[in-house]
Copies of this chain bind each other. A is one copy, B any other.
Amino acid sequence: MKKIETCISPDLIHLHDLEGKTVVVVDIFRASSTMVTALSNGIQCIKPLKELDECRNYKDQDWLIAGERDGKQAEGFDLGNSPLSFLDNAFAGKKLAMTTTNGTRAISLAESDCNEILIGAFLNLQATVDYLKSTTNDVLVLCAGWKGRFNLEDSLFAGALSLELGWKHDCDATLAMEALFQKAKQDLTGFLQKASHTKRLQNHQLEKDIDFCLNLNTYHSVIYLDKGYLKVKPGRNNKKRLSHQRNSLNL
C-alpha cells in the first residue's frame, strides 16, 4: 500500500524521511502554476534557482530569466512570476531560468534526498495524480508556504491531491487538508479571498493570476526535475485537456 504525507512548510522538511519518495512541490500562488503553464506552452526547460544573482547569470539569447521577490518582478529580469506571460506559446522554444520567493527554495530543499521531484498545481492536478498512481513510490507533498509559514492555497492542493489518490495514510496534516478542501472546493476563489497571499497579490493588481492558478486541469503535463532542469515528462499524454474533461474529477 502506497502512502502519502504532507509537509506544510519547508521549515519542517527535517521531520520527513524523503528517501525513495516522490516529492510533489507545490506553490500555487504562483511558482508551481507558472512552471506548469510555461512548460505546457513550449518552454523547453526551466532551471530553478535559489538566488537572484545566479539566475541573472543565465541571461543570453537562448535563455529568458524570471525573477520574483515578495510578489513583484525583480529588477533587471525579463519576467516575473505570472503564468499568464506564457500563454499562447508566447516563448515556445526558449529556456527559462527562474527564481521565486518560496517555490524554488522548496525544490532545492528536497532535491538531493528524494527519488523524484514533481511540480504540482491545480492546473495539472489530474495529470500528476495519474502519474503518481502509475509509480511505486510513496509521496510527500511539500508546500512551499510563505517564508516558512503555512499557507492556505498550497495546503488545499495537498488535500485535493490526496483525495484524488485515495490512498490510506496516517498523516494529520493530510487529513486536515482533505477535510478543508472538501469544504472549500465548491468555491475555491471565494474561500481564498481572506488568505494572506491572495491579499498580497490583490495589492499588486494580480487578480487575473489568482483566477488562472485556481483552474483545474487546464494542462495534462507531468512536470519533473531531470538532473536539475524542470521538464515535461515524456511518453505521457501531455495534450491540453478538453474543456468537457475539466470537471471529471471526483472532487
Contacts and interface: CB of A to CB of B under 8 A. Distances in A.
Interface of A: 8-9, 11-12, 14-15, 146-152, 155, 170-173, 175-176, 179-180, 182-184, 191, 194-197, 199
B194 A175 contact: yes
Contacts of A146: 172
A64 to B, nearest CB: 31
B175 A179 contact: no
**Copies of this protein in the complex:** 2
Q: Chain A interface mostly helix, strand, loop or mixed? A: helix
16 contacts: A9-B9, A11-B11, A11-B14, A12-B150, A15-B149, A146-B172, A149-B172, A150-B172, A152-B172, A152-B175, A152-B176, A171-B196, A179-B184, A179-B191, A180-B183, A182-B183
Nearest to A197: B172
Contacts of A194: 175
